[in-house]
Amino acid sequence: MIKAVVFDFDGLTLDTESSWYESLKQVYTKYGVEFPEESFFQTVGTFDGDFKPYQFLSNALQGTPDSESLKEEVHAIFHDIMSQKQLREGILDYLESAKKLGLKIGLASSSTKSWVESYLRAYGIYEYYDCIHTSDDVSRVKPDPELYLLALRSLGVEGHEAVAFEDSLHGLHAAKAAGLYGVVVPNAVTHHLPFTTHDWKLASMADMSLAELIQQIEAASASIHQE
């Protein structure tokens, strides 16, 4: 029986990932340098990637501008884009439905606590969560399962009693490794990635109610155990 849901933040709750992608690409284009998309995609859902976009671009430009100046340019564009950004379609309905269904609600993010909580408060959804765990709380972020294992302990549930909602491969791998059911809801940046280990895939959380989704997951699980 499902007792809890755990949501990712960047790209799933609020699509910051597409905004970073667009911001970086604009600055790379400005300086006539091809944006290394594959390297960027490998960093989605984790902060442990080797790709350093500002240093990469600065090196391509022989150090002028330096990486810090390029970072400031990208961040200015990013914040302009984010000022007009809405929560991803369906996430608010899922949070409200989880409360009505009596489910515990967690958040597991590879970003910092200050980053995540500032947005949760700005969008008025901070109070929905029973636990919020970020990179500040663990030694290893996604795809390592540590964040999800910590969320399970905080919520007082087992992996098979919780559903994780993710938009990236790193996040999905982390959730599955921790024993949760994995629902993937790709965004504009991650929709082309080769998701194969998910239990369910949605183009949008508005496509299916949370109650129906949980019912489908529980039915599929029961069917497998009966075989």
Of 10, 15, 144, 199, catalytic? 10
Q: Do 142 and 163 fall within a single domain?
A: yes
The pLDDT value given to residue 48: 60
Q: What is the pLDDT along the chain (227 residues), one digit of tens a residue?
A: 999 999 999 999 999 989 999 999 999 999 999 999 888 887 776 666 678 899 999 999 999 999 999 999 999 999 999 999 999 999 999 999 999 999 999 999 999 999 999 999 999 999 999 999 999 999 999 999 999 999 999 999 999 999 999 999 999 999 999 999 999 999 988 988 899 999 999 999 999 999 999 999 999 988 765 55
pTM (two decimals): 0.90
Separation of alpha carbons 67 and 136, rounded Å: 25
Q: Do 114 and 215 fall within a single domain?
A: yes
Separation of alpha carbons 134 and 150, rounded Å: 10
Q: Do 73 and 10 fall within a single domain?
A: no
Residues forming beta bridges with residue 131, ordered by sequence position: 106
Separation of alpha carbons 90 and 111, rounded Å: 22
Q: Do 55 and 110 fall within a single domain?
A: no
Spatial contact of 132 and 158, defined as CB atoms under 8 Å apart:
no
Q: Do 39 and 72 fall within a single domain?
A: yes
Cα dihedral 35, 40, 42, 47 in deg (nearest 10): 150
Final residue belonging to a domain, choices 67, 82, 97? 82
Q: Do 175 and 106 fall within a single domain?
A: yes
Residues in the chain: 227
3-state secondary structure 46-76: CCCCCCCHHHHHHHHCCCCCCHHHHHHHHHH
Final residue belonging to a domain, choices 47, 62, 82? 82
Active site residue 8: yes
Separation of alpha carbons 103 and 79, rounded Å: 34
- Domain residue limits at 52: 16-82
Spatial contact of 130 and 161, defined as CB atoms under 8 Å apart:
no
Spatial contact of 117 and 126, defined as CB atoms under 8 Å apart:
yes
Final residue belonging to a domain, choices 46, 62, 82? 82
Number of domains in the chain: 2
The pLDDT value given to residue 46: 66
Helices (H), the chain: 16-30, 37-41, 53-60, 67-82, 91-100, 113-122, 146-155, 169-177, 210-226
Q: Do 33 and 138 fall within a single domain?
A: no
Separation of alpha carbons 37 and 42, rounded Å: 9
Positive or negative torsion for Cα 182, 145, 110, 33: negative
At 134 the three-state DSSP class reads coil
Of 8, 15, 144, 199, catalytic? 8
Q: Position of tokens 């990637």?
A: 49
At 182 the three-state DSSP class reads strand
Q: Do 125 and 57 fall within a single domain?
A: no
Active site residue 10: yes
